[in-house]
Amino acid sequence: MKKHLFSLVTLLVSIAGSVSAQSSGYPELDAMVQTWKDAQQTTLGYPASQESDLALFYQWYLASGMDVVNLNNAGDPMTDAPSTLSTQKFERQVIEFFAPLYGFKLDDVWGLVTHSGTDGNNHGIYFGVNYLRNQTGMEPVLYVSNEAHYSNMRLAHLQNVEMYLVASDSMGRMIPDSLEEVLVTSRPALIVYAMGSTFKGAIDDQKALNAVLASHPEIPAVYRHVDAALFGGYLPFSPYRALVDRDTMRYESISVSGHKFFGLDSPSGLFICTKEIYDNQVDYNVPYLNSNMRMINCSRDALQPLKFWWLTKSIGHTGWTYQAAKLLAQRDYLKQQLDSIGWPNWVNDYSNTVFFRRPSQRVISKYTLAQGYDDRFGGELAHVVVMQHVTKEKIDMFIADLIEQDVQR
């Protein structure tokens, strides 16, 4: 057994070496590869882990000949796939791995690996509308924070759903009293909670907002979707896991990105809900797919579920728990260093996003910083999203550039 394992590893290493040493034959592409690799070393402003754990996956992928197999996860991943040329078996195992982490019971769960966090939100809003319409015969109203990810607003427009933007406080959290002010109690309520707002990394107070909804028993029905694109990655592996636990927070569905904390190398994600929610969707019986197609997508990427599955096996709960602790520790270190040089900065509870007074354009460009604006914090702002690749060494380099900027003024 050890001999065979050694031979496989040797083959994989050989393949990896020959591939990495080869030019693509397209000088423009090869030049961009170096540009991308250089930028990867200093990017701090966007929530994608630059520590990929998929090297062995790709080595296996080439060695096994999978690169010439066309797979498609068309159909409901929680039922038998209509074709053997799919990875739906592994997709189900991915959902079954993550579902308990968000408080879903394995005998009462439905889910899929999505194309992105936006795709997950699209399902959350679509499923919410259909569920509420099916329960009440009425059209719901969507409520979302004005600091939540813009995809929620865009998707409400796409799906022609009436929407109210709810005011947020200075730190980006939806204000319960503001929800109270705009609530239309005669119609079903579809609410999207931000589990990590785009710029400030705010977490909507689900318990306080749920209390507002509960104080109006005349509301025909309520559906709560959690947009946990980034925070839904690391929080289940932290001491704050209750924030994304369905039993604690009482939500109906959740979406999480795969290309952020989990480190998949291209957009993907998870959408998870209960069977009751899925069973209250619009029926579309599709004979050639052997299933009732209630979700939005037909053809779906079969490779992303396989990568996700690989990571659950190769990193798993233990590895992600370590990464989550490291990530939050590095966030604390960044804030301490900014405080030590007197650079105005702020961070929400449980967040890995630190926002601060905007530095020079040179610093912004070097570290690919996202920018924002808020008069309540002095106007021009930027932020760092502390991911796994944001080490103390990179933070020290960033702080040194801030100090140098101030000296040159």
CB within 8 A of 353, min separation 6: which ones? 47, 196, 199, 200, 201, 347, 383, 384, 385, 386
Q: Are residues 309 and 325 in the same domain?
A: no
Total residue count of the chain as it appears in this document: 409
Helix, strand or coil for residue 128?
A: helix
**Domain membership flag for residue 167:** yes
Select from 284, 314, 344 the last residue of a domain: 314
**Domain membership flag for residue 236:** yes
- Give long-range contacts, CB 8 A cutoff, 24+ apart: 338-342: 338/399, 338/402, 341/399, 341/402, 341/403, 341/406
Q: Are residues 148 and 204 in the same domain?
A: yes
Question: CA 80 → CA 74, 92, 269, 289, 292, distances in Å?
Answer: 11, 10, 21, 9, 11
**Domain membership flag for residue 66:** no
Q: Are residues 216 and 362 in the same domain?
A: no
* Per-residue pLDDT, 405: 78
* Both tokens assigned to 7: 């031979």
Q: Are residues 300 and 385 in the same domain?
A: no
Q: Are residues 266 and 376 in the same domain?
A: no
**Domain membership flag for residue 42:** no
Question: Can you name the residues that pair with 370 across neighbouring β-strands?
Answer: 383
Q: Are residues 258 and 122 in the same domain?
A: yes
**Domain membership flag for residue 53:** no
* Per-residue pLDDT, 165: 96
Ranges of residues in the chain whose predicted pLDDT is under 50: 1-9, 11-12, 16, 18-19
Q: Which domain holds residue 348?
A: 321-408
* Both tokens assigned to 252: 């109906």
**Domain membership flag for residue 234:** yes
Return the sign of the alpha-carbon dihedral for residues 122, 123, 124, 126.
positive
The CATH number for 288's domain is 3.40.640.10
Q: Are residues 241 and 123 in the same domain?
A: yes
* Per-residue pLDDT, 408: 59
Q: Are residues 99 and 165 in the same domain?
A: yes
pLDDT digits 0-9 by tens, 349-360: 999 999 999 999
Q: How many helices (H) and strands (E) does the chain have?
A: 15, 13
**Domain membership flag for residue 293:** yes
Rounded to an integer, what distance in angstroms lies between the CA atom of residue 308 and that of residue 261?
12
Q: Are residues 129 and 159 in the same domain?
A: yes
* Per-residue pLDDT, 83: 75
- Largest Cα–Cα separation, the chain: 70
CB atoms within 10 A of CB 2: 6
Q: Are residues 114 and 245 in the same domain?
A: yes
Q: Please give the full DSSP string across 382-393, using - where no structure is assigned.
A: EEEE--TT--HH
**Domain total in the chain:** 2
Select from 314, 335, 358 the last residue of a domain: 314
Question: In this structure, what DSSP letter does residue 241 have?
Answer: G
For residue 374, give the nearest of 147, 63, 49, 108 by alpha carbon.
147
**Domain membership flag for residue 77:** no
Q: What share of residues in the chain are helix, strand, coil (percent, to 5)?
A: 45, 15, 35
Q: Are residues 302 and 367 in the same domain?
A: no
* Both tokens assigned to 238: 């932290």
pLDDT digits 0-9 by tens, 60-69: 999 999 999 9
Q: Are 323 and 313 in contact (CB under 8 A)?
A: no
Select from 289, 314, 339 the last residue of a domain: 314
Q: Are 354 and 345 in contact (CB under 8 A)?
A: yes
The CATH number for 385's domain is 3.90.1150.10
Question: Can you name the residues that pair with 203 across neighbouring β-strands?
Answer: 195
pLDDT digits 0-9 by tens, 260-276: 999 999 999 999 999 99
Q: Are residues 209 and 340 in the same domain?
A: no
Strands (E), 276-315: 285-286, 291-292
Enter the pTM of the model. Answer: 0.91
For residue 331, give the nearest of 144, 163, 196 by alpha carbon.
196
Burial 8-22 (b: 16+ CB within 10 A, else e): eeeebeebbeeeeee
